[in-house]
Amino acid sequence: MSARENMAADWGSVDWGLPDAEIARRVGRSRERVRQVRRDFGKGRSAMWHGRLGTARDKISKGRWDLRTPAEVAKAVGCDEGWAEHCLQSSGKSHVRPPDGRALRRKYRWDTMTAADWARLTDRQVARRLGVGNFGVVTQWRRRHGIFKEERAAVAAEVRG
């Protein structure tokens, strides 16, 4: 076979229902080249795309998860818990919150602290109460949410008014 014959593949006679790897073997090209030609010809993705079952997002959007937690959904579709929760929320699928009631991305239960607790307690005390190992995390959370201790709140009120 000459170099010219090796360069030209008969893409018109390809059975596009086959997986890219099988087409690649039959036409003597790489699987990546088959993927590119499939895209250029507008043939859609291979039947074997993402292990033949689609992506985790596809599985989550097609499934019914209202009786499962994001951790259970993640295990069922084979992805990370955070990604499963993101896909559930973005597709509007109802699901069960984890047993402790917190969102997966929230490591600490900030909502258990009352406004009086935030005003009265130091960052170290809040950190101890919530199980935060580094009280600087509490300081950062306070700043981010504009929650100050009583003495700082009084100073801020004087400056404003």
What are 9-64's pLDDT values in tens digits? 788 888 888 888 889 998 999 989 998 998 898 888 776 665 544 678 888 888 88
Q: Which of 40, 46, 39, 51 is nearest to 15 (CA)?
A: 46
Name the residue type at position 132. Answer: V
Q: Which of 41, 42, 9, 36 is nearest to 25 (CA)?
A: 9
Name the residue type at position 28. Answer: G
The helix-helix angle for 70-77 and 81-90 (nearest 10°) equals 100
Query: 10 Å Cβ neighbour count for 115?
Result: 8
Specify the pTM. Answer: 0.34
Band of the pLDDT at 154, cuts 50, 70, 90? low
**Three-class DSSP category at 1:** coil
The model's pLDDT over 82-123, given as tens digits with 9 standing for 90+, comes to 788 888 888 887 777 766 555 545 677 777 788 888 888 888
